[in-house]
Each structure stands twice: as C-alpha cells, then as structure tokens.
C-alpha cells in the first residue's frame, strides 16, 4: 500500500485539484488529432463520467494521466505536479497513486483471483506480510472473499471486473481511472459494478469513468464531461449522457 509519507511526496495528500489539463492536444504521427486544446480540472473526491462517441479521445484522456500517452502540446498536472516531462522512477511513483481498470480486465489467466491481486503488490516489492493483509481486504471490498482460488475462466464477466477493480485498489490509490467498466456486461451486472465504484468513491477515492452506457450515466446523475472530435463540448455537474435541451 502507498504509505502516507509517500503520498505527501507525490502531492496527493494536500491536493484539492487531482487532475488539471492546460491547453492539451495530442496529434499522432499520421496527423490524426486525438485531443484538441483540452482544459479540464477534476477535484479531489469527485466522480466524473467522460462520454462521447467512439474515437473522440476519451481513452486517450485517461492514458495521458497515467503516462501511457504523451501530449503533443500543453501541460498535465496531477496532484499539484506537472507530469508532462516525468521519466523512469518518477513515472512509477506516479502510477502507484493511480488505479487503472480496463474494459478487457487484463487478468493473468494462469493465476487465481487472489494471485492476480497479489501480483500488483509483488511487482512493487511489497512484503509478504502486507500481501497477506491487503489481498483478503481487497477481495472482501469487491465481494469476492469466497472465491480467492478461482481462475479467471471460472469467473463471470462481472466477477472478473471486480477482481480487476480489487487489483487496481490494492495500493490504496487516491484516484481510480476506469475505462468502459460495463462494456462487456449485462445491465444488472453493470449496475452492480457502478454501485461498487460509487461506494469506493464514498470512501474518498477520486473516480473518472469513461462510459458509453447511457442508462448508467443518467441514473448516477454525476458530473459529465462530453468529448466530440477531440474537444470538450460539455461539462455539467449532475449531468446526463445526452445534453437536455432547454425548453
């Protein structure tokens, strides 16, 4: 788990603005512009949906925050630190404060549910004692404490997504980035996953969710940021998936 002292060094503890994009653009080598002049602030403890059609830059937005992508221009500030030029070990320290959940789960098929969660601790050099404590805690948090020895192929899609969330949370990150968490799930399971994320948010974790799920976004009534052709066209508190025209 990321200790409080480490979080202070990263700026997480005192920061009220968790993510800030300042005039950020991303242009790929084939001259396709994924994002255009993005300006955005996400505050500590917020739950934000990022919506828009396929290819509008939603996933690119998330990848910039955890340094899988680099901006062509502009500045990205995470927990009061400009991450635009971070390299090497500094990137690793940044990522320990950010949990990432993917649509395709990305679980290791040869490892059990518990081992998948434990592996996230192992690669950062956590002690065996910490692993023994944290892994059961995370499985209980996502409601799978009774299935530690199940392999991914023995789990439903919703259960696999829960293990993915447990793995992302095992370092107790202040922020969780979630890319299409319900894209492969039925409506009831999707709602269960979003409710789980809502409970995690209530514990103080800042959550940013990329979603195509109109029903979920409308029902949650959270902040909605809409992208279209790489630009922010709408940013509403308590928004819906589609903008409601004024009568």
Q: DSSP labels for 14-41?
A: T-SEEEEEEEEEEE-TTS-EEEEEEEEE
d(CA 97, CA 6): 9
d(CA 46, CA 197): 12
Q: What is the structure's pLDDT at 11?
A: 56
Residues 20-50 pLDDT 10s: 999 999 999 888 899 999 999 999 999 999 9
d(CA 189, CA 122): 30
- In the structure, what pLDDT confidence band is assigned to residue 234 with cuts at 50, 70 and 90? very high
Residues 4-17 pLDDT 10s: 434 444 556 567 89
d(CA 44, CA 15): 7
pTM summary value:
0.90
Q: Is residue 125 part of a domain?
A: yes
Contacts for 70 with CB less than 8 Å, ≥ 6 apart:
26, 64, 84
Q: Is residue 197 part of a domain?
A: no
Q: Is residue 144 part of a domain?
A: yes
Q: Is residue 97 part of a domain?
A: no
Q: Is residue 200 part of a domain?
A: no
Average pLDDT for the chain: 90
Kindly tell me if the per-residue pLDDT of 201 is higher than 90. Answer: yes
Q: What is the structure's pLDDT at 119?
A: 94
10 Å CB burial of residue 32 (0-12, 13-18, 19+) is exposed
**Number of separate domains in the chain:** 1
d(CA 78, CA 32): 26
Q: Is residue 38 part of a domain?
A: no
Domain of 114? Answer: 110-156+163-170
Q: Is residue 120 part of a domain?
A: yes
d(CA 215, CA 40): 25
Kindly tell me if the per-residue pLDDT of 76 is higher than 70. Answer: yes
d(CA 84, CA 89): 14
Report helix, strand or coil for 141: helix
Is-contact 83 67, C-beta < 8 A? yes
- Residues 111-130: b if buried by 16+ CB within 10 A, e if exposed: ebbbbbbbbbbeeeebeeee
């Amino acid at each position: 788990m990321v200790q409080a002292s480490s979080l202070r060094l990263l700026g997480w503890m005192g920061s009220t603005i968790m993510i800030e994009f300042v005039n950020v653009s991303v242009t790929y080598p084939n001259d396709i512009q994924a994002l255009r002049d993005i300006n955005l602030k996400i505050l500590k403890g917020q739950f934000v949906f990022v919506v828009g059609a396929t290819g509008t830059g939603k996933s690119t937005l998330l990848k910039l925050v955890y340094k899988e992508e680099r901006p062509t221009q502009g500045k990205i500030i995470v927990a009061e630190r400009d991450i635009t030029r971070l390299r090497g070990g500094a990137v690793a320290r940044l990522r320990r404060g950010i949990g990432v959940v993917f649509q395709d789960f990305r679980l290791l098929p040869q490892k059990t549910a518990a081992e998948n969660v434990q592996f996230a601790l192992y690669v950062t050099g956590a002690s065996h004692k910490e692993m023994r404590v944290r892994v059961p805690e995370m499985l209980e948090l996502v409601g799978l404490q009774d299935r530690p020895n199940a392999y991914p192929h023995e789990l439903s899609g919703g259960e696999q997504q829960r293990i993915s969330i447990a793995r992302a949370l095992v370092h107790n990150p202040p922020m969780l980035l979630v890319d299409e968490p319900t894209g492969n799930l039925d409506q009831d399971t999707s709602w269960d996953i979003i409710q789980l994320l809502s409970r995690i948010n209530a514990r103080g974790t800042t959550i940013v969710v990329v979603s195509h799920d109109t029903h979920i976004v409308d029902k949650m009534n959270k902040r909605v940021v809409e992208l279209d052709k790489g630009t922010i066209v709408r940013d509403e508190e308590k928004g819906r998936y589609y903008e409601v025209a004024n009568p």
